[in-house]
Amino acid sequence: MIRIATAARQTFRSLRIRNYRLYFIAQLVSVSGTWMQSVAQAWLVLRLTGSGVDLGIVTGLQFLPMLLFGPWGGLVADRVDKRRLLFATQTGGGVLALVLGVLTSTGAVRLWHVYLLAGLLGVVNLFDNPARQTFVGEMVGQSELPNAVSLNTVVMNMSRVVGPAIGGIIIVTMGLAACFYVNAASFVAVIIGLAMMRTAELQRTGGVPRATGQVRDGFRYVWRTPELRNTLGAMAIIGVFAYNFQVTLALLAKTTFHGGAGAYSLFTSAMGIGAVLGGLVAAHRARPTPRLLQGLALVFGVLMAAVSLSPTLAVATAFMVPMGAASIGFIATANASLQLRADPAMRGRVMALYAVAFLGSTPIGSPLVGAIAQWSNPRVSILVGAGATVVAAGLLALHHRTAVAGQPSAAAGRVAEVRGVEGSASQVA
């Protein structure tokens, strides 16, 4: 019992910080609503057109602004007060969900409405995503950042369990529009949480002053830093080909296994259960490592292949639990690695590039995997993602091995590290 209590304290240690605790609870409510809307929106598109390509386009439009303008969103997050920016983005997201609910409940909704609202939500997320990512560091500080990032993934994926499960029930009993209304109301939780925070306890880094070429500076900084460059490259490959589950799982449920909204909710909930477990394991670890990132990418790819080849809905659902754990373990490890390695003045731009690689790649990946699924079948589209993920894992391993081979001996490295610390201390003194 003592060991269990100690492990629990280690895993949830960031929640001792009041501001982060408020944020954690508010995000759990809000992201559950977002996942609820995600299920309803996918089913709305399939009801309107029945096309995998249309579903891919809607999903892609939601992330197109991130792909085109992601670094500028990150620069804004570096420049302004992140808490105030989040007030604005959360309000915008709530209004857009409300509009979609009204259009759906009145029967006026058309496919172009869904396209437009998805694109506008993408504009909101352009600023919201880097602000949320970097605001975590302001709430908890550098020492607890890996733990808080991992717990954030737990929030996202507890919501992935709760949201689709409740969403499926609401769709069946109350209709699609109700999901959009509930999501609109859920944004209020984040706004309240932000309002209740003690601003004096935030560890603000200070805004970056305006200057020309700051977006280019962010690109150059990432390119000159191999650890950042390689992690973002692997994330881009996996983002394009693998992280399109809103498309692939919906089509797998409907086309391959001939199920309805309940089957799709079952898939996303099973993946979410695994993701919660994976996030908790990641939260218990003190620090991310390159070897861990490589291993998680490899396991994720292998499990995606297992899902794609599953003979029945039950077998596919069973494989989605460990696949969800591996996928979120990879995301949390990549996220924490980037934030810990990035200079605070560059962190917003670095995390915006992470969002471009992870989310902004969706306008390319979603229509692509949707087309592959429609022209062949959903199993093939998932298998393509599995292969790309294994390739990314191999590239990470190769880059890491090359970097290690080019370094001095471990003993020399430790001496250099000690001297570097001593030099820093003398400069401070």
Element spanning 198, H or E: none
Lowest mean pLDDT among 88-92, 121-125, 186-190, 261-265: 261-265
What six digits make up the tokens of 380? 């093939």
Give yes or no for residue 280 having a pLDDT over 70: yes
Phi and psi torsions of 406, nearest 5°: -85, -5
Higher confidence at residue 3 or residue 190?
190
Predicted confidence at residue 411, as pLDDT, reads 42
Predicted confidence at residue 158, as pLDDT, reads 66
Q: 């471009």: which residue's tokens?
A: 356
Predicted confidence at residue 286, as pLDDT, reads 56
Alpha helix (H) residue ranges in 285-377: 290-308, 313-341, 347-355, 362-375
Domain 10-198+213-405: homologous superfamily in CATH: MFS general substrate transporter like domains (1.20.1250.20)
Q: Which residues contact 413 (CB under 8 A, 6 or more apart)?
A: 407
Higher confidence at residue 30 or residue 415?
30
As a three-state string, the secondary structure of 38-64 is HHHHHHHHHHHCCCHHHHHHHHHHHHH
- C-alpha 51/C-alpha 39 separation (Å) is 16
Predicted confidence at residue 317, as pLDDT, reads 92
Compute, in degrees rounded to 10, the torsion defined by CA atoms 31, 33, 35, 40. Answer: -160
Predicted confidence at residue 215, as pLDDT, reads 78
Predicted confidence at residue 424, as pLDDT, reads 38
Provide the whole-model pTM: 0.68
> What is the pLDDT averaged over residues 373-397?
91
Give yes or no for residue 414 having a pLDDT over 50: no
Q: Provide the percentage of residues in the chain whose pLDDT is more than 70.
A: 86
How many CB atoms are closer than 10 A to CB 199? Answer: 10
Lowest mean pLDDT among 176-190, 329-343, 383-397: 329-343
- C-alpha 286/C-alpha 289 separation (Å) is 10
**pLDDT per residue as tens digits for the range 74-95:** 888 888 888 999 999 999 999 9
Answer yes or no: are the C-beta atoms of 187 and 93 closer than 8 Å. yes
User: Strand locations in 153-202, DSSP E?
Assistant: none
> What is the pLDDT averaged over residues 327-343?
83
C-alpha count within 13 angstroms, C-beta hemisphere, residue 161 = 18
> What is the pLDDT averaged over residues 4-32?
81
Tell me the residue type at 227. Answer: E
Among 23-27, 94-98, 201-205, 279-283, name the most confident range.
Answer: 94-98
Q: Which residues contact 130 (CB under 8 A, 6 or more apart)?
A: 70, 73, 74, 76, 77, 348, 349, 351, 352, 355
Average pLDDT, the chain: 82
For residues 212-241, one letter each, b for 16 or more C-beta atoms within 10 angstroms of the residue's C-beta and e for the rest, the string is: eebbebbeebbeebebbebbbbbbbbbbbb
Give yes or no for residue 160 having a pLDDT over 70: no
> What is the pLDDT averaged over residues 277-295?
77
Higher confidence at residue 386 or residue 171?
386
